[in-house]
A and B are shown apart, each in its own frame.
Chain A
C-alpha cells in the first residue's frame, strides 16, 4: 500500500516535501483504519509526527487532510482510499511538524463565543431544569468534538482566521443560543454582529461535507441569522 506523506521539520528543513513510502500488503489487515497504517509507518520511521489519542473518533486529535479531504484518521478505513494515499496536515494552519498543526487560532475563536452557559438570574437551589423538548434542541450541536476539520476546510476561515469565527465556533455559539437555560441571547448575537465574525460565511458548505460527526454548521449559522432577524423586530 502506497502513501505520499507531507513532511516538514522547521528546525532542519528549508521547505516542506512530500515523502513517498510503502507498507507491504501483508501488514494490512481487513478493516484497518488509516491511523493504524500511520502507526506502522511510524514504527519504521520514528521521526514521522502526528497527533492521535483515543483512536475511535471521540477525541478529535487526529484530524488530517486525507486525499484532499479533512477527516479523522482513526475512523477512515484504508480500503476506501485511492492510492497513493496523500496525507497532509489540516490546510491553512501553521505547521509545527509533519502532520501536527498549531490550532491556536481555532481555539481562540472557540473561546471568543463564550462556550458555557451564561445565567443572569440567581443560581437555583437545585439543578437547572430542562424539558425533553428543550433538550432536543441541542441535538446535532452538542456532539461536536472540536477536531477542527470543518473550520480548516472553510475558505472564509482560510482568508480571515483571525476575524471570522469559523464553522466550529459558530456551531457552538448556536449550541448555547439554542439552550433554554442560557440567558445571554442578546449579548451573544450582538457579539457576532459586524462584517467578519459571523457574516464571512458564504454558505460554501465545506464544513458540512467534511464533518466526521455528520453535523451541519451551515444550518446552525442560518439559525443564528434567523435569531438575529427575530431580535431585530
Chain B
C-alpha cells in the first residue's frame, strides 16, 4: 500500500519518538540518581561512551522530530491562510534545524 501524504507516518513517528524519549529520560534519571558523576571530567567521560553518545544523539533527533510533528499539527489545526501557514512552518523548521545544529555541535565537540 502506498502512503503518499504524511498523516500516518507522522503519527507513527510521534508515537515511536515519544516511547524512545520516555525510556531514555527514565534511564538517564536513574543513572543520575544512583550513579551520579563526581566531577565534570567524569560526567564528560560518561557522556562520551560510544553507546551513551549514540543514544543521546538519537534522543535529540527524536526530540526535534517530535517537536516538529507537534508544532506542525498545531499550525495545521489553527492557521488556515496558506501564506501565513507557510511562513510559520518555515520559522518552526528553521528554528528546530538551528537547535539541531547546536546540539550536534555540542555532541561533536565532546568527541574531539
Residues of A within 8 A of B (CB): 156, 159-160, 186, 189-190, 192-200, 202, 225, 228-229, 231-232
Contacts and interface: CB of A to CB of B under 8 A. Distances in A.
Given A186-B1, A232-B1, A193 B77 contact: no
A163 to B, nearest CB: 9
Interface in B1-50: 1-8, 10-12
28 contacts: A159-B78, A160-B77, A186-B1, A189-B1, A190-B1, A190-B2, A193-B3, A193-B5, A193-B7, A193-B8, A194-B4, A194-B5, A194-B6, A194-B7, A195-B5, A195-B6, A195-B7, A195-B10, A195-B76, A196-B7, A199-B7, A199-B8, A199-B11, A200-B77, A225-B8, A225-B11, A229-B12, A231-B1
Contacts of B2: 190
A202 B1 contact: no
A160 B78 CA distance: 9
- Of the four ranges (under 10, 10 to 19, 20 to 34, 35 or more), the interface on chain B belongs to 10 to 19
A159 B4 CA distance: 24
B15 to A, nearest CB: 9
Contacts of A197: 7
B3 A232 contact: yes
B77 A232 contact: no
Nearest to B14: A199
Q: What are the 7 tightest A-B residue pairs by CB atom distance, in nearest-first order?
A: A199-B7, A194-B5, A194-B7, A195-B7, A159-B77, A193-B7, A228-B8
Given A190-B2, A225-B8, 8 more contacts: A193-B5, A195-B76, A196-B7, A197-B7, A198-B7, A199-B8, A202-B73, A228-B8
Contacts of B73: 202
A156 B1 contact: no
A200 B72 CA distance: 11
B79 to A, nearest CB: 10
A192 B7 CA distance: 9
A195 B1 CA distance: 17
A196 B77 CA distance: 9
Given A160-B77, A202-B73, A193 B4 contact: yes
A225 B11 CA distance: 9
Contacts of A195: 5-7, 10, 76
B77 to A, nearest CB: 5
Contacts of A228: 8
Contacts of A189: 1
A66 to B, nearest CB: 27
A143 B1 CA distance: 31
A229 to B, nearest CB: 7
A166 to B, nearest CB: 14
A154 to B, nearest CB: 12
B84 to A, nearest CB: 15
Contacts of A160: 77
Contacts of B77: 156, 159-160, 200
Contacts of A156: 77
Contacts of A159: 77-78
